[in-house]
């Protein structure tokens, strides 16, 4: 994996574990020679990841909608900053520039990005690994919901392993590196659907 799209929040939660984890993600990826593709912001976890990766000599590519540039939240010290017209273009460029996706804690925008990466993998629009870093058990309920979707039949058995989960970055990256793409919906017969 040469570059990973990192999905995370632009907020700074009161508990420092989240900012510390974001910094660790940025620094670790840079130290491993893995470029960061992220939302292009300078605030919250986004800014922490970018600053840590840059400080460790890493490549950091931001992808940000013009409206957020106009709101003055863009990080101006990145390796590259792509300004796009909206969120659809942003997510498409994340996919084009990256070899996989890592979601760390965030809010609704982060969830939108995670679910789209999973949906696109399920459909066959990409075959890249989709990872979820469960920092401080932040995603316990989401992980349980993923299991509920599988148990009730809304998540097909062949897609159950699309979401790669770990509590530490090292384990997550190891699991993502051994990812084997599953059978996408576009290659399934009607009887399998």
Query: 95-109: per-residue pLDDT in tens?
Result: 999 999 999 999 999
Q: Please tell me which residue, 182 or 16, carries the higher pLDDT value.
A: 16
158 has a pLDDT exceeding 90: no
Sign of CA dihedral 120, 181, 114, 190: positive
**Domain harbouring 153, CATH code:** 3.40.50.450
- Closest-CA residue to 45 (of 66, 87, 68, 75): 75
Mean pLDDT of 174-192: 79
Cross-strand bridge partners of residue 132: 103, 165
3-class SS at 46? helix
The reported pTM is 0.94
Angle of CA points 113, 121, 100, to nearest 5°: 65
pLDDT confidence bin for 60, thresholds 50/70/90: very high
pLDDT confidence bin for 185, thresholds 50/70/90: low
Q: How many domains does the chain have?
A: 1
pLDDT confidence bin for 182, thresholds 50/70/90: confident
Provide the residue range defining the domain that includes 69: 3-192
């Amino acid at each position: 994996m040469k570059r990973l799209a990192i999905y995370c929040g632009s907020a700074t939660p009161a508990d420092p574990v989240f900012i510390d984890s974001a910094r660790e993600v940025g620094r670790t990826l840079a130290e491993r020679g893995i470029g960061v593709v992220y939302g292009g912001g300078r605030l919250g976890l986004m800014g922490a990841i970018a600053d840590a990766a840059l400080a460790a000599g890493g490549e950091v590519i931001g992808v940000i909608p013009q409206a957020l540039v106009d709101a003055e939240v863009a990080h101006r010290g990145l390796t590259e900053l792509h300004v796009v017209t909206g969120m659809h273009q942003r997510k498409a460029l994340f996919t084009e520039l990256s070899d996989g996706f890592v979601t760390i804690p965030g809010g609704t925008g982060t969830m939108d990005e995670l679910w789209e990466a999973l949906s696109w993998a399920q459909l066959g629009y990409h075959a890249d690994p989709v990872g979820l870093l469960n920092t401080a058990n932040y995603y316990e309920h989401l992980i349980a919901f993923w299991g509920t979707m599988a148990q009730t039949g809304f998540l097909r058995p062949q897609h159950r392993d699309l979401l790669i989960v770990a509590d530490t970055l090292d384990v997550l990256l190891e699991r993502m590196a051994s990812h084997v793409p599953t059978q996408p919906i576009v290659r399934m017969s009607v009887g399998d659907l």
